């Protein structure tokens, strides 16, 4: 079995070979450790290079770990490709991945389906002053979230209102690149965050 995934899958999935994507430009290397084939990304997700690697190494199943290729539509690319359409890919479509790729879209989805979530508003550079005014309506701590993917660094929780306003301005001025072109400000909720675990079980000696 072959897997395309991120670093966490290396220890959590026990299969003979892993196709590992840790960053953003595709280049193939061979790893002696656990027979891992690495395909690295450095600048952009290049789906045709992934396609070549999948075909070359006869990969039958793909588990996509990183958010970037999911948000950019790798599942849709596989479905539309005559070469890859029969390869089993575990991961949502581009539309589904938007729930992870956009904090604003996730909030809209929860509101649309009556899923409880913290009160929020979204702001852009053009509505900076409105964002600062919205912060005045909240109690500390103040939660600021870059709308897009920011490698896990796009959320700020701040106690001071002036610091929150300053950070909002920095975020909308490119602190997290394009990821913070839109910033979601939400009320702080105190509690335990639930953790989701996904388990994949296959019969013994079954090839996929």
Tokens linked to 108 = 């809209």
Instruction: Supply φ then ψ for residue 29, to 5 degrees.
Output: -140, 160
Cβ neighbourhood burial of 20 (10 Å; 0-12, 13-18, 19+): buried
Same domain as 8, residue 26: yes
Per-residue pLDDT tens digits for 137-156: 999 999 999 999 988 889 99
Q: Quick one: CA torsion of 150, 151, 152, 155, rounded to 10 degrees?
A: -20
> pLDDT tens per residue, the chain (208 residues)?
445 554 444 444 444 444 544 434 344 444 443 444 455 544 445 788 788 888 887 888 888 877 888 888 889 999 998 888 888 888 899 999 999 899 999 999 999 999 999 999 999 999 999 999 999 999 999 999 999 998 888 999 999 999 999 999 999 999 999 999 999 999 998 888 776 665 555 555 544 4
CATH number of 118's domain = 3.30.1490.20
Cα–Cα distance between 194 and 191 in angstroms, integer? 9
Same domain as 113, residue 71: no
CB within 8 A of 137, min separation 6: which ones? none
* Count of the separate structural domains present in the chain: 2
Map tokens 């490709």 to a residue: 81
In a domain, 146, yes or no: yes
- For residue 108, whether the previous peptide bond is cis, meaning omega lies within 30 degrees of 0, is no
Residue ending a domain, among 48, 68, 97, is 97
Specify the pairing of strand 2-5 against strand 155-158. unpaired
3 state SS of 120: strand
Same domain as 113, residue 91: no
For residue 118, what are the domain limits? Answer: 102-186
Per-residue pLDDT tens digits for 162-200: 999 999 999 999 999 999 999 999 999 888 877 666 555
Contact predicate 32/49, CB 8 Å: no
Map tokens 């045709």 to a residue: 48
In a domain, 198, yes or no: no
Cα–Cα distance between 188 and 206 in angstroms, integer? 47
CA angle 54–57–60, rounded 5-degree value? 60
């Amino acid at each position: 079995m072959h897997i395309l995934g991120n670093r966490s899958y290396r220890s959590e999935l026990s299969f003979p070979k892993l196709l590992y994507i840790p960053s953003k430009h595709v280049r193939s290397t061979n790893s002696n450790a656990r027979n891992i084939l690495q395909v690295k990304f450095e600048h952009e997700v290049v789906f045709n290079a992934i396609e070549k690697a999948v075909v070359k190494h006869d990969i039958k199943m793909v588990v996509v770990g990183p958010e970037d290729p999911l948000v950019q539509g790798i599942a849709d690319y596989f479905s539309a490709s005559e070469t890859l359409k029969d390869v089993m890919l575990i991961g949502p479509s581009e539309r589904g991945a938007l729930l992870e790729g956009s904090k604003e879209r996730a909030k809209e989805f929860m509101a649309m389906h009556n899923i409880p979530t913290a009160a929020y508003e979204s702001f852009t550079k053009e509505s900076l002053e409105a964002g600062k005014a919205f912060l005045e309506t909240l109690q500390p701590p103040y939660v600021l979230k870059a709308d897009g993917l920011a490698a896990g660094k796009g959320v700020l929780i701040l106690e001071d209102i002036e610091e929150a306003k300053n950070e909002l301005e920095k975020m909308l001025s490119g602190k997290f690149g394009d990821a913070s072109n839109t910033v979601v400000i939400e009320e702080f909720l105190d509690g335990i965050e639930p953790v989701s675990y996904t388990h994949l079980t296959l019969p013994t000696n079954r090839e996929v």
